[in-house]
């Protein structure tokens, strides 16, 4: 590999990094503004225009604050946990394509951190890694509320990871019928959602896989520990949950990880179900650079639509109880996902091979 | 490794000796008179009470968690010692006293006319009810009757206060279950009532408005418009809350069948107020012992069935509607006349009279230096505060200050029932139950 290719790889990784940090700044601000509006408040308005720099100010404040280390912590795990939270959060987004690949000379540059052929498996693995951070943080804090939060996180993650994975299986099965052979590569999944049915319905997976979409949406809300599934950090019950004993920059890293997770999970939902960066580019009628940028715009629009749903849910729904969370996960979501897999498998089989008696 | 060694490796909360002082201010010496058991209780490592516990679970599977006094949702400085097995709470011990400021003792130093400034700070969410109970007790000892307009203003203000207090209860109940928007909405609506209170009394809380002999001031000009605006907005807004909470499956799942108290338990623990009525007992001081002429207004006493968190929430919502009904009737039938008794030995003369009349000046001087004397005797008067029966027991020995003042604080009695209401519940239910009892720690500790 020449130095040009290396440079391109480094650039892509940097681009993803900057995009995520920028998105987090916007997301935290947007959440505060949107939820404030829903609750007839004003929200941040002092730092910068419309208070958009509020997140930067908060980040700076946390950066300069002392990171208190309580005496009873298990120091190694306690220090490791924030990094374990942030790193997988960044890595998840690495495999998500956020724009159409474009050509510079002979080199094709994909707008994607890395195009893994097992991209979906990588995402599942990384989102499982994130749970270790919460569990370790809860356990190593040497305090009771974090411990409860950590234990809750374990159970919650296992339950909803399963539902999320099963919803993905249905999508992968369906995608396999849309092109030559099955694929786990996200860029390929996006490419196969191009085109329309009947001329006007975009060929997104959400239409044939609506049940999987609903299950996936519920599962990612639980996976990112957001309301109404935020039992892990339920402030009213267990004070702060796993991050009770964290302060300063270490707390900021958990915070960052949570918002990056929201963004990357929304991006994943947009990629799997809403056609990723697919959308009209009006090539020829608009300037070339506009049609080059448009796919990224579509992608961000779809992602932010899902991010908005996250905020909306948070402003509306009360929190579930621990046992209700478990029963929804195991008694509703997982059986529903399994049933949906069987159903879509049958329909795919019928479409591929005809009815069994014919 | 033997089994014994294994258990030593696992760190279990509260098994080791404290290596450092509980505060971060260096080593502390504890007095020798305190025994080991007492110290462990103070540290919160054990729960020391007379509860008989069926001991089948090994000690290391249990964890004692001290919830509070600094906890986001214990409604102030309530401390709960919870003995938990995982997420399940087996034993609860409420510990109070973190807000004790000796207000009953303070009352013995204050004259009868200064008394309302004291009692209004007890239940800070329903200050007017505290003032009302105290004033009624003083008036009964004095054997004076307030003018009809004063009585009507008292009812108007206390019923509005009930609505504002219940709004806080709904708001905090919502927030403790995780419905964050409900919290803001509740406080937003309360604001319109507090604005009216500020206009009338000068203060948003701790009004010192209802005083022995009447009220501090007449209603401000234009009060009818303000009250009509409240009466118009509030029912619409409460319908929206029903949309947000009552029609929400998560809210129902979190509240129905949670924190159940039966009617027998409620009466045995002398629970009063919405918590009692939610169990199906039709008991309201306003109906049983009407005060300030509240019996001339028409209203119902809503009761629940199951005595769970949901019923307490419903009873509160219905009560708000009933209170608004009373407010409307009071507004329409507000009598003309004086807003306090004309007896200048009890109420100060109008400011203008002081410049003209020597008598008025003397009365004013005597009232604000010495206070008025109250005939010897004792009495107990109760009013229905938003939290239940708020009673004032007053003993006078013939001086200008009470010999003894005791408040029957409804929150204090309601809080006693927390352990039975919780039973073997989950942590999340604990929070919902506390919120639904709506304790005000200022009322509990006084």
Per-residue pLDDT tens digits for A130-145: 888 888 888 888 888 8
A238 touches chain B (CB under 8 A): yes
Delineate the domains of chain B, giving CATH numbers in brackets. Answer: 3-95 (no CATH), 103-445 (1.10.645.10)
Distance from CA of A220 to the nearest CA of B (A): 18
CB B415 within 8 A of CB B439: yes
| Beta-sheet strand order (sheet of B88-95) | B63-67, B79-85, B88-95
Instruction: Enumerate the residues of chain A whose CB falls inside 8 A of the CB of residue B245.
Output: 318
B82 DSSP β-pair partners: B65, B92
Q: Which helix (H) or strand (E) holds A197?
A: strand A196-197
Mean of the pLDDT values across residues A270-278? 84
Instruction: Enumerate the residues of chain B whose CB falls inside 8 A of the CB of residue A152.
Output: 87
DSSP letter at B104 equals H
CB A48 within 8 A of CB A54: yes
Give the residue on A whose Cα is nearest the Cα of B71: A239
Position B8 scores a pLDDT of: 47
d(CA B429, CA B418): 11
Distance from CA of B244 to the nearest CA of A (A): 7
B6 pLDDT above the threshold of 50 = no
A338 touches chain B (CB under 8 A): no
A114 vs B318, residue with greater confidence: B318
Asked if B427 and A315 come within 8 Å (Cβ–Cβ), the reply is no
B63 touches chain A (CB under 8 A): yes
B363 touches chain A (CB under 8 A): no
Percentage of chain A exceeding pLDDT 70: 99
> B27 is written with which tokens?
């080593």
B228 — phi, psi (to 5°)?
-65, -35
Burial of B114 (0-12, 13-18, 19+ CB in 10 A): middle
d(CA A270, CA A266): 6
CB A120 within 8 A of CB A172: yes
A270 touches chain B (CB under 8 A): no
B253 touches chain A (CB under 8 A): yes
Per-residue pLDDT tens digits for A78-89: 888 888 888 888
Mean of the pLDDT values across residues A329-345? 90
Distance from CA of B149 to the nearest CA of A (A): 38
User: Which of A237, A238, A332 has the most B C-beta neighbours within 10 Å, making it the best mutation to test the interface with B?
Assistant: A237
Percentage of chain B exceeding pLDDT 70: 87
Give the residue on B whose Cα is nearest the Cα of A231: B428
At residue A266's C-alpha, the angle toward residues A54 and A133, to 5°, is 75
Asked if B251 and A238 come within 8 Å (Cβ–Cβ), the reply is no
Instruction: Enumerate the residues of chain B whose CB falls inside 8 A of the CB of residue A323.
Output: 426
Per-residue pLDDT tens digits for A186-218: 888 888 888 777 777 787 888 888 888 999 999
Cis amide bond preceding B69, omega within 30: yes
CB A54 within 8 A of CB B197: no
B104 touches chain A (CB under 8 A): no
Q: Which of B19, B20, B254 sits opposite A318 (nearest CB)?
A: B254
Give B47's pLDDT tier (boundaries 50, 70, 90).
Answer: low
CB B164 within 8 A of CB B173: no
Position B19 scores a pLDDT of: 58
A233 touches chain B (CB under 8 A): no
Position A335 scores a pLDDT of: 92
Give A156's pLDDT tier (boundaries 50, 70, 90).
Answer: confident
d(CA B415, CA B275): 10
Instruction: Enumerate the residues of chain B whose CB falls inside 8 A of the CB of residue A39.
Output: 180-181, 184-185
For chain B, the C-alpha Rg in angstroms (whole number) is: 25
Q: How far is CA B124 from CA A85, B202, B441, in A?
A: 43, 16, 9
Three-state secondary structure string covering B309-337: HHHHHHHHHHHHHHHHHHHHHHHHCCCCC
Angle, helix B148-177 to helix B127-142, in steps of 10 degrees: 150
Mean of the pLDDT values across residues A227-242? 78
CB A157 within 8 A of CB A223: yes
Q: Position of tokens 């002082």?
A: B21
Position B1 scores a pLDDT of: 44
B11 touches chain A (CB under 8 A): yes
Cβ neighbours of residue B249 closer than 8 Å, sequence gap 6 or more: none
B229 touches chain A (CB under 8 A): no
B66 pLDDT above the threshold of 70 = yes
B71 touches chain A (CB under 8 A): yes
Asked if A236 and B72 come within 8 Å (Cβ–Cβ), the reply is yes
Give the residue on B whose Cα is nearest the Cα of A36: B181
A239 touches chain B (CB under 8 A): yes
A236 touches chain B (CB under 8 A): yes
B251 touches chain A (CB under 8 A): yes
Asked if A319 and B429 come within 8 Å (Cβ–Cβ), the reply is no
User: Which of B75, B178, B435 has the most A C-beta neighbours within 10 Å, making it the best mutation to test the interface with A?
Assistant: B178
CB B313 within 8 A of CB B170: yes
Asked if A236 and B251 come within 8 Å (Cβ–Cβ), the reply is no
CB A24 within 8 A of CB B169: no
Residue A152 Cα to chain centre, angstroms: 20
B187 touches chain A (CB under 8 A): no
B49 pLDDT above the threshold of 70 = no
A45 touches chain B (CB under 8 A): no
Per-residue pLDDT tens digits for B165-182: 999 988 888 888 888 888
Q: Which of B63, B65, B426 sits opposite A322 (nearest CB)?
A: B426
Closest CA to B287 of B151, B414, B389, B166: B389
d(CA B30, CA B402): 39
Asked if B180 and A314 come within 8 Å (Cβ–Cβ), the reply is yes
A324 touches chain B (CB under 8 A): yes
Q: Which of B20, B72, B178 sits opposite A319 (nearest CB)?
A: B178
Asked if A238 and B179 come within 8 Å (Cβ–Cβ), the reply is no
Give A129's pLDDT tier (boundaries 50, 70, 90).
Answer: confident
Give the residue on A whose Cα is nearest the Cα of B189: A40
> B60 is written with which tokens?
């290391």
**Dihedral over alpha carbons A293, A294, A300, A303 (to 10 degrees):** -140
d(CA B374, CA B397): 8
A295 pLDDT above the threshold of 70 = yes
Closest CA to B109 of B368, B401, B446, B392: B401
A201 DSSP β-pair partners: A197
B184 touches chain A (CB under 8 A): yes
CB A126 within 8 A of CB A92: yes
d(CA A125, CA A88): 9
Give B33's pLDDT tier (boundaries 50, 70, 90).
Answer: low
A137 touches chain B (CB under 8 A): no
CB B431 within 8 A of CB B442: no
Instruction: Enumerate the residues of chain A whose CB falls inside 8 A of the CB of residue B88.
Output: none
* DSSP states along A203-271: --TTTTTHHHHHHHHHHHHHHTT-TTSGGGG-HHHHTTGGGTT--HHHHHHHHHHHHHHHHHHHHHHHH
Q: Position of tokens 């991209």?
A: A119
Interface of B with A in 392-421 (CB under 8 A): none
Mean of the pLDDT values across residues A53-65? 88
Q: Position of tokens 């509306």?
A: A316
B161 pLDDT above the threshold of 60 = yes
> B192 is written with which tokens?
């319109």
d(CA B129, CA B131): 5
Give the residue on B whose Cα is nearest the Cα of A41: B184
B91 — phi, psi (to 5°)?
-150, 140
> A219 is written with which tokens?
């599962």
User: Which of B19, B79, B87 has the most A C-beta neighbours within 10 Å, making it the best mutation to test the interface with A?
Assistant: B87
Distance from CA of A121 to the nearest CA of B (A): 33
- Give me chain A's average pLDDT, please: 84
Give the residue on A whose Cα is nearest the Cα of B45: A144
CB B103 within 8 A of CB B123: no
* DSSP states along B221-267: TTHHHHHHHHHHHHHHHHHHHIIIIIT-HHHHHHHTTSS---HHHHH
A290 vs A222, residue with greater confidence: A222
User: Which of A68, A321, A324, A331 has the most B C-beta neighbours within 10 Å, making it the best mutation to test the interface with B?
Assistant: A321
> A42 is written with which tokens?
């004003």
A283 — phi, psi (to 5°)?
-65, 135
Cβ neighbours of residue B348 closer than 8 Å, sequence gap 6 or more: B363, B364, B367, B368
CB A234 within 8 A of CB A302: no
Give B23's pLDDT tier (boundaries 50, 70, 90).
Answer: low
| Beta-sheet strand order (sheet of B404-408) | B377-385, B388-396, B404-408
Q: Which of A39, A71, A147 sits opposite B181 (nearest CB)?
A: A39
Q: How far is CA B402 from CA B152, B254, B363, in A?
A: 27, 47, 21
Distance from CA of B43 to the nearest CA of A (A): 14
> B292 is written with which tokens?
């300030």
d(CA B224, CA B203): 19
> B312 is written with which tokens?
């307490």
Residue B437 Cα to chain centre, angstroms: 10
Instruction: Please state whether beta strands B79-85 and B88-95 pair in parallel, antiparallel, or not at all (unpaired).
Output: antiparallel
Asked if A320 and B175 come within 8 Å (Cβ–Cβ), the reply is no
d(CA B348, CA B211): 11
Report chain B's terminal Cα–Cα distance, integer Å.
55
Interface of B with A in 129-148 (CB under 8 A): none
A1 pLDDT above the threshold of 70 = no
Per-residue pLDDT tens digits for B284-340: 888 888 888 888 888 888 888 888 889 999 899 999 989 998 999 988 888 888 888
No. of helices (H) and no. of strands (E), chain A: 12, 4
Give the residue on B whose Cα is nearest the Cα of A234: B178
User: Residue ranges per domain, chain A?
Assistant: 68-353
Give A222's pLDDT tier (boundaries 50, 70, 90).
Answer: confident
Cβ neighbours of residue A331 closer than 8 Å, sequence gap 6 or more: none
d(CA A54, CA A102): 35
Closest CA to B438 of B186, B99, B173: B173
Phi-psi region of B112 (alpha: psi -120 to 50; beta: other; left: phi over 0): alpha
B266 pLDDT above the threshold of 80 = yes
Cβ neighbours of residue A84 closer than 8 Å, sequence gap 6 or more: A129, A130, A132, A133, A136
Angle, helix A75-94 to helix A3-38, in steps of 10 degrees: 100
């Amino acid at each position: 590999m020449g130095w040009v290719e290396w440079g391109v790889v480094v650039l892509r990784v940097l681009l993803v990094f900057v995009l995520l940090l920028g998105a987090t700044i916007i997301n935290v601000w947007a959440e505060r503004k949107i939820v404030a509006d829903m609750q007839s408040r004003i929200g941040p308005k002092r730092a910068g225009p419309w208070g958009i720099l509020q997140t930067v100010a908060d980040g700076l404040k946390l950066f300069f604050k002392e990171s208190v280390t309580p005496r009873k912590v298990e120091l190694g795990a306690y220090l490791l946990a924030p990094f374990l939270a942030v790193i997988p959060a960044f890595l998840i987004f690495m495999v998500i394509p956020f724009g159409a690949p474009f050509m510079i000379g002979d080199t094709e540059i994909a707008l994607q951190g890395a195009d893994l052929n097992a991209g979906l498996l990588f995402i599942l693995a990384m989102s499982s890694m994130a749970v270790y951070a919460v569990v370790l943080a809860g356990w190593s804090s040497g305090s009771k509320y974090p411990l409860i939060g950590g234990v809750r996180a374990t159970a919650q993650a296992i339950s909803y990871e399963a539902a999320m994975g099963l919803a993905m299986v249905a999508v992968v099965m369906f995608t396999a019928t849309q092109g030559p052979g099955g694929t786990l590569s996200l860029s390929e999944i996006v490419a196969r959602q191009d085109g329309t049915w009947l001329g006007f319905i975009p060929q997104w997976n959400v239409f044939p896989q609506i049940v999987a979409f609903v299950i996936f949406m519920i599962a990612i809300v639980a996976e990112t520990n957001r309301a109404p599934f935020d039992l892990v950090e339920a402030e009213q019950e267990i004070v702060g949950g796993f991050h009770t004993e964290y302060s300063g920059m270490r707390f900021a890293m958990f915070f960052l990880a949570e918002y990056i997770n929201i963004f990357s999970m929304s991006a994943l939902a947009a990629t799997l179900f809403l056609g990723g960066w697919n959308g009209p580019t009006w090539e020829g009628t608009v300037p070339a650079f506009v049609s080059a940028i448009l796919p990224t715009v579509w992608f961000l629009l779809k992602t932010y639509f899902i991010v908005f749903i996250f905020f909306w849910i948070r402003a509306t729904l009360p929190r579930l109880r621990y046992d209700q969370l478990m029963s929804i996960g195991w008694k509703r979501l997982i059986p529903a996902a399994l049933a949906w897999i069987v159903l879509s498998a049958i329909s795919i089989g019928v479409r591929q091979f005809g009815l069994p008696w014919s | 490794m033997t089994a014994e060694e294994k258990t030593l490796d696992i760190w279990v909360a509260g098994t080791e000796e404290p290596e450092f002082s509980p505060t971060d201010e260096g080593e502390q010496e504890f007095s020798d008179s305190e025994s080991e058991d007492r110290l462990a209780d103070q540290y919160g490592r054990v729960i020391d009470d007379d509860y008989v516990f069926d001991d089948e679970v090994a000690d290391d599977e249990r964890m004692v968690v001290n919830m509070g006094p600094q906890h986001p949702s214990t409604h102030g400085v309530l401390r709960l010692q919870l003995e938990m097995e995982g997420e399940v709470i087996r034993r609860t011990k409420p510990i109070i006293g973190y807000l004790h400021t000796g207000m009953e003792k303070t009352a013995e130093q204050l004259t009868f006319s200064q008394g309302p400034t004291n009692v209004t700070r007890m239940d800070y969410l329903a200050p007017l009810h505290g003032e009302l109970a105290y004033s009624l007790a003083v008036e009964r000892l004095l054997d004076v009757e307030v003018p009809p307009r004063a009585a009507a203003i008292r009812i108007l203000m206390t019923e509005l206060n009930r609505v504002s207090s219940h709004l806080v209860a709904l708001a905090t109940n919502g927030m403790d279950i995780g419905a964050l928007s409900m919290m803001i909405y509740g406080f937003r609506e309360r604001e319109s009532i507090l604005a009216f209170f500020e206009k009338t009394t000068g203060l948003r809380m701790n009004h010192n408005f209802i005083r022995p002999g009447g009220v501090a001031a007449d209603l401000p000009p234009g009060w009818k418009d303000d009250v009509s605006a409240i009466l118009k907005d509030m029912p619409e807004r409460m319908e929206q809350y029903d949309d947000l909470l009552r029609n929400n499956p998560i809210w129902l799942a979190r509240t129905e069948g949670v924190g159940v108290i039966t009617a027998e338990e409620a009466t045995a623990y002398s629970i009063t107020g919405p918590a009692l009525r939610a169990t199906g007992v039709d008991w309201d001081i306003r109906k049983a012992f009407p005060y300030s002429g509240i019996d001339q207004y028409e209203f119902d006493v809503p009761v629940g069935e199951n005595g769970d968190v949901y019923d307490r929430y419903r009873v509160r919502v219905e009560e708000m509607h009933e209170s608004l009904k009373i407010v409307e009737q009071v507004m329409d039938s507000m009598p003309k006349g004086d807003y306090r008794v004309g007896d200048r030995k009890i109420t100060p003369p109008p400011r203008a009279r002081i410049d003209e009349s020597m008598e008025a000046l003397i009365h004013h001087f005597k009232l604000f230096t010495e206070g008025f004397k109250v005939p010897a005797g004792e009495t107990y008067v109760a009013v229905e505060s938003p939290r239940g029966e708020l009673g004032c027991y007053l003993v006078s020995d013939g001086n200008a200050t009470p010999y003894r003042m005791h408040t029957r604080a409804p929150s204090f009695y309601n809080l006693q029932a927390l352990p039975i209401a919780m039973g073997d519940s989950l942590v999340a239910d604990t929070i919902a139950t506390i919120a639904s009892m709506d304790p005000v720690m200022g009322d509990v500790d006084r």
